[in-house]
Structures are given as C-alpha cells and as structure tokens.
Amino acid sequence: MKRQFETYPHNRSIRQPLQITFILLLCVWSIAWLSGCFSESTENPDPISPIDEVDIATGDVHVSFAGGGWRAHTGHSAFIMSLLAENDHDLKNVFGNVGSISSNSGGSWFSTMLMYSEEFVNEIQAPNAIADWDSIGWLGKQKALFNVADCGSKTGYKYPFCVFKHYSSKDLPYYWTEVVDNVVFNGYPMNDQTLNSPPQEWANGKPLVLAATLLMNDVVLKPIDLSLRKYYYQACSYPHRPSLDGHHGSKCDNGTPPDALPVTFSNKAANLDKNGPPFLMSLNGDDNAGIHLGYTENKYLFNPEDYDSIQNPIITQNVKVRKAAAASSAALGFLASEHLTGSWDFADGAEDFAISFSLENGEAKYEDFDNEDIDVKGLKNKKAVKIADGGLCDNSAVAHMVSRLQQKNEADGFNIVAFDHVTNGHTPKSGGGAEIAIDLAYLFGQGLKEETRICLDSWYDRDFCITFPDLQIFESVTLDTTQYTWKTDELLPDGSYQKLIYTKYTVTTKENLAFNIKGGNVGTLHAFSCISPIAATVPFNEKDAANFPSYTVMLDFIHNGLNRQDEKGISGMEYLEEAMGITK
C-alpha cells in the first residue's frame, strides 16, 4: 500500500485507486482528529464548592466559542438561545457586557453567523427558536442539506464525505471552502461581507478574533500535472533558511519546524484602539522577526528556486467572512503537508482541504491557486501560503483571547467565558479537581499523550503526527485543585451520561511564545463544558449512533439542564447569566 502511494501518477483525472485509499485513510484520521484529538475517559467530579459573586464591569466579559464542527455549532446555539429566552430574545441584553469574542473551527461558523448574518440573528432571536431549531432553524436546514439520495446507503464517515462531494465542484476530494459556503452557511448569505463590513447592530464595537494556523512544513500549493513538478513551499522562522532536500524531505537550517504556527483573523473592531491582534502571533513585538519561505516546483532540487518572507503586520480585515470561517475550520488542511502524510501523492490529493491565501503587500487575500496559470515566481511574488484549522485541539479560542487582552493591556483581572462541547471530558489526575471538557484541559497542560505532538497510530504502514507549539497557557495547579461550581447530568439509553459542568477557575497565565502570551496575569476562566458522548463533530446518517437526532438530544439537554438547581437552589442559568455579567 505504501509503495502505491509513492508511485501512482499525479494526473488528478486518473487517480481513482488513490481516491479510494485516500478516503479510507481520511476516515480513520478524522475519527482521531475531529473528535477533539485524543480524549480520555473520566470519573465523576467532587462535590459542589461554595461560589463567590462575580463583580463584572461593563465590557469586562470576553467570550470564547470552542471548535467541534456541527456539534459545537449546535451546543453554542443551545447556550445562546437559552440565554435569549431569559433575556427578552435580544442579543443586546445577552452580550451587553461582552467586550470581545474569539472562536475557532465550528465555533467560528457560529460567531461569524451571529455577528454578520441578519437571517441567522432573526432566527436565533425568534421566540420559538429553541423549539424550531431542528426543523426550520439552522440545524433543520443542515438536516435537509445532508439528505442527499446518493449518500443514503453510506455509513460512518463515508456518509459526510459523500455529502461534501455532492456540494463541491471538484472530483478529488472536494473544496473545503465550497463545503462551508454550500452547506454550513447555506441559507445565510454573506457573499460580499468581509471582516471589515459592519456587523449586526448588537455586535457594534465588539472585536472578533478567529483562530487559524499557517502550515509550515513541505506544503503543497497547487495540484500537480507532471510527475517531476512539485509546487510547494517550506517555511522557517527568522533568521533560519529553508532547504528542500529533494525527495528526502525539507527542513530549516536549524532543524525541523513545527507543522503549524498560530495565526489570527480579526474584524475591523479589533482596530478601534491601536492595532488589531497580530496575524503571526509569535512574531509580535519583534521588528526583526518573520518567516522565510522557500518555493519550488521540482522535488529533486536541493534548494528552493525562489525565496520570500512574511512578517507582521498582515491586514486580515478585508478577508471575506466565509473564507475566514473556512480557514478557521479546515481541520483536514494539515494533510496538505508531505511532512505529515509521508507521501507527496497523498498530500497533493488533500491540498484542497487547506485554504489558499496570498499575503502579498501585507494583506491576506483568499486565492484559488489551483485554477491559476502561475509558476514558482508568481507564487513567490504573491507570498502564497496554506491555512488550516485554528483549533489544534479545538481549544485555541481562549489562547487567542488571552493574547489579545495582553496586547491591549487588559489582561489584569480578565473574565473569559469559554463554551466547549466534547464527547469526553478530562478529570485531573491529582488534587480532586473538577471534570472539564478535554479541549479546555489542554490549556492547563493536561490531556495530551505528548506535549507538542498528536499522532494517529500506524495505519497502512503510515503514521500521521502533527507537531505544533505547546498548548498550555495557564498554570496547571488550578485545574488540579478547583472543584466544580454547578453540574447536572442525564442518563442516555446506551447507559452513558450527558453532562453539563460549570467551573469557575482563578487562573494565572503561563508564558507561551507561540501564542505571544506572557506569564503572571491573574483572571477568571468561566468554563462551561457540555460532555455528550453521542454527538459527533460531523453528522452521520440514521444507521449510526451519532446522527442528527443526537444533536437535538444535546440541544434539549443543554436548554433544560440549565434550569436545574444545585443544593443551594441556584440554577445553571443563574450561574451563566452571572458569568456573562447580565443583571436584572
């Protein structure tokens, strides 16, 4: 099987055997990656601890929507619709004390719709929004779009892949941007709106930060027509230079770089005072920092054919909202790297999962290089790069928020409300700390098998491992010792439990150069974790355990669960309103 990948022709019109194998591998990869990296089994948390009143001044609340595809969008919708039902169905009331919003992946679908789509705002503010969500609301629209006749007999991940190809103009495998446009945002037109466009009225003046990552290592830029032509780039941080060591791989003169570097898309509101968050997060504040890019079209050259470089500032406000959301959610975009896949044919077949951008003249601009007659020099002049999912493990919305607050000198005493929806939680190994969504556990340096490496165990003689910067931004002792504030659960027919857990953490930032975070700031993280073992990141069909009805079950559980009271007679909704700074 491995030899087939390395010798099969590059012509995209004759790669049917590769397509079949590619989809099989992709299915297995997706199970690991899209489910929130590698989740852990959990135990029930310790009993309720007393709570302190939250003293929040206007604009001191900051909200972070985690990733997780269709599960994340449904969960975020459930929380916000529940808040709206208690606050006159008016987003101004719900977000009145919120100063800024961050998101990644499926959370970025939700945040951009909420801030820029009039149709979505009207839907989510409607008095019957919760009851209608899985019929005429966003979830119902998605259900109808996934009802593709030719895909009905397929099971597992073959089902969503079949649906995605139905809405894509490409044969192999499909454009991720078209999936986002034609499926996720279908019914919510924002074709010409950019991050520079005025948002919906409730969101005026509220910065929006979308997490993404720049692919760094052996990245395919456009499809290959001839076997010896390999359009790709290798990126290295200053002052180091890339080398392209033929078919033996690429590297920097100081070793192998990480596969992904955090980058940020932001709206115009982020520029209301001084500058918005830096696009290249780890380079902020260093005038000599940057990234060297080596471009080539021949895999047998030992050095790049042309060099260029990028550095801050990079303007992102003119990027179309949908393209920014697509970039933030391109979970399989990492497969465009030969370093990751181990096969050029495989990376070439997967390059459409990553989003193409030109960074020419210091401005990010979406461009489809596949359809352009462009050579290496042209790619170099455009400073062509590929962007993938910002989540890494669907937690990075919080990291990007902390980085932004520190840049604005607003990080002392911050209040971040983080919403996360996962299939599994994480219970700290020591100290009796509360169970928490696995994605949020990564922020405390817990939950990963290895600190800066995620691997899918060998499959078809091939390992898939993503190397990335350290995810930890908070001191871990807080996670070990903080008990939950409020929780509720619900027994499911299969014997598992859905859980809603709110824990109020007093956190201290830990230095993280990749996210441009300094240590020593103390603030509050209000962690709202929804753990639903039946809700997957992408919809399966009715023959599988995880399907559209599972999203409805999760939505109803969040809405009804928030009304349940703890031993002190305080409901989850009251805790949520307090965390959001809502007073009545």
Q: What pLDDT, in 10s, does the model give residues 25-57?
A: 343 334 333 334 433 433 333 333 333 444 566
Report the Cα 325 to chain-centroid distance in Å: 9
Q: Check pLDDT > 90 for residue 473.
A: yes
Q: What pLDDT, in 10s, does the model give residues 433-463?
A: 999 999 899 899 887 754 455 554 433 345 5
Rounded mean pLDDT, 271-282: 72
What is the value of pTM for the model shown? 0.90
- Which residue shows structure tokens 């079950």? 553
Please check whether residue 514 is in contact with residue 399, taking contact to mean a CB–CB distance below 8 angstroms.
no
Give yes or no for a cis peptide into 173 (omega within 30° of 0). Answer: yes
Biggest CA-to-CA distance, the chain: 70
Q: Check pLDDT > 50 for residue 299.
A: yes
Quote the DSSP letter at residue 484: P
Q: What pLDDT, in 10s, does the model give residues 112-150?
A: 999 999 999 999 999 999 999 999 999 999 999 999 988
Please check whether residue 324 is in contact with residue 315, taking contact to mean a CB–CB distance below 8 angstroms.
no
Q: Is 474 helix (H, G, I), strand (E, B) or coil?
A: strand
| The predicted structure's pLDDT at residue 108 | 97
The candidate with the shortest Cα–Cα distance to 284, out of 314, 328, 317, 254, is: 314
CA angle, residues 576, 581, 583, in degrees to nearest 5: 95
Average pLDDT score over the chain: 83
Domain spans, the chain: 2-16+210-389, 33-180+194-201+393-579
- Which residue shows structure tokens 């903080």? 482
Q: What pLDDT, in 10s, does the model give residues 153-168?
A: 888 888 998 999 999 8
- Which tokens in the block code for residue 285? 């504040």
Q: Check pLDDT > 70 for residue 23.
A: no
Q: What percent of the chain has pLDDT over 90?
A: 56
